[in-house]
Structure 1
């Protein structure tokens, strides 16, 4: 056996080993990303336009399964409260226990007297709300508004109840991180609330999960493609070498 042939076979075996490692690692990342996502996130379909333009009717969202005690101002959450109806609802948290919420001052929502910039609203305005009288959110509860302020059935329609339109933190089922369909991606960061005590929530692990899935798929494809490509390359080298031996 010629030295050239032995070298070629050695390279082929090393390539096969690397190919197998790439496929195995790719499968781990790809399947692991999906399993991780299924454990951490729950998909929901939004039934109305009350969160427009951030989320439209019929959009499919991904909500991270977190405890209601972790929710902060500005979060978009899925919650269910029987006094609001039987189905899960999607709204934005604008006040937490102890906050004084009102609207509008210079067209802006105020929380504890601070005007809140809300660029995620249509035109960036809150003035379409007919008005929220100054309301203090009870301890352990959350005050919700829809991003479509003029038509959302949110805390503003429950202001006269004993809890001033608020909902218990325990009613929260998850925090929405992204719109999965249509593929609008991650929700905008609610920066208008970050100067208030407690700040705002950081995004969940959705991006690392998607990265794991994409990288895993790439490694599987590259590893699987190595065999046919390497075989074709060996045949080409063999045909090129035949005239030289003659």
Structure 2
């Protein structure tokens, strides 16, 4: 009489169920994350170096679609304005309706309502603007500057316009949340601390991190669940080989 070592298939069935569940949940997270991101965010390519070094020429950015009412000082926004050429532009909001913005004080700083603003993101180490200016921003408008003040064509160029160089809040299409390309520049867009003390404070980042986490977690679950089948079959073949060895070497009565 010979004895055979057998293993139940209960664990195998449970594994298959769990792997299928992992793939299903992974698909929901992966596809849902992509859909969520597509609804909230739009990619833009910045064609100039006017926002360097924050955003370089040719960089690809992800901008959250927002209403202009949500814009705060310090935000980097995508906007279109017919006076500026009716093409998408990327600039930084330094003042909002009712603010008096000027440059430069004795320390070379930009001032908003008389308060100097530290701007560590500027490309140039000298004054915050190579040309002096003063403007009172009309209600409902935004005053925008590039971070590369030596080359940026921004609100300073339009000071003689009826809106004193500003654009309507409604011209804003999106707020830049991250740089997506090139990889060396990949990362979230920091919110400058210099504007926090001013009325209204600064804005909070959008849900881009959650979107990325959802997509990555979904991909991991899909790959993990899909890998269960081949791994289980390989382990099963090894187990059957061990069983055969036990059967072949068993004692006879």
- Is the TM-score greater than 0.5? yes
Distance 1:147 1:83 in 2: 21
1-structure distance, mates of 2:69, 2:173: 11
Indicate the SS of the match to 2:134: strand
Q: Is contact 1:108-1:126 (8 Å) kept?
A: no
- C-alpha displacement at 1:189, in angstroms? 1.8
Distance in structure 2 (CA, Å) of the matches to 1:42 and 1:122 = 26
* 1:6 positional shift: 4.8
CA contact (8 A) 1:120 1:188 kept: no
The 2-side partners of 1:63 and 1:4 are apart by 61
Cα deviations by residue, 1:142-192 (Å, 9 ceiling, x for unpaired): 000000011100000111111110000010000010111113211122111
TM-score by length of 2: 0.92
Aligned counterpart, 2:251: none
The 3-state SS of whatever aligns with 1:90 is strand
SS in 2 for 1:157: coil
1:128 CA drift (Å): 5.3
> Which ranges of structure 2 fall in alignment gaps of 5 or more residues?
249-253
The match for 1:87 is 87
- Whichever of the two has the greater Rg, that structure is 2
TM-superposed CA distance for 1:132, in Å, is 3.5
Provide the rounded CA distance (Å) in 1 between the counterparts of 2:219 and 2:12. 23
Q: CA–CA distance in 1 between the matches of 2:223 and 2:214?
A: 14
Tell me the C-alpha RMSD between the 2 structures: 1.5
Q: Which residue of 2 aligns with 1:129?
A: 129
- Tell me the matched-pair count: 243
* Structure 1 residues 9-158: aligned runs within 5 Å: 9-105=9-105, 106-122=107-123, 125=125, 127=127, 129-158=129-158
Work out whether residues 43 and 61 of structure 1, in 8 Å CA contact, stay in contact via their aligned partners in 2: yes
TM-aligned CA deviation for residue 58 of structure 1: 1.1
Task: Tell me which moved more, 88-97 or 132-141.
Answer: 132-141
CA distance in 2 between partners of 1:66 and 1:38 (Å): 13
Matched-pair contact (CA < 8 Å) for 1:80–1:87: yes
Query: What does residue 240 of structure 1 align with?
Result: 242
Instruction: Call closer, same or farther: CA 1:3–1:171 in 2, change over 3 Å.
Output: farther
User: How big is each residue's C-alpha offset from its partner over 1:12-45, in whole Å with a ceiling of 9 and x where there is no partner?
Assistant: 1000000000000000000000000000001111
TM-score (norm 1): 0.95
Unaligned runs of 5+ in 1: none
Offset of 1:136 from its aligned partner? 0.8
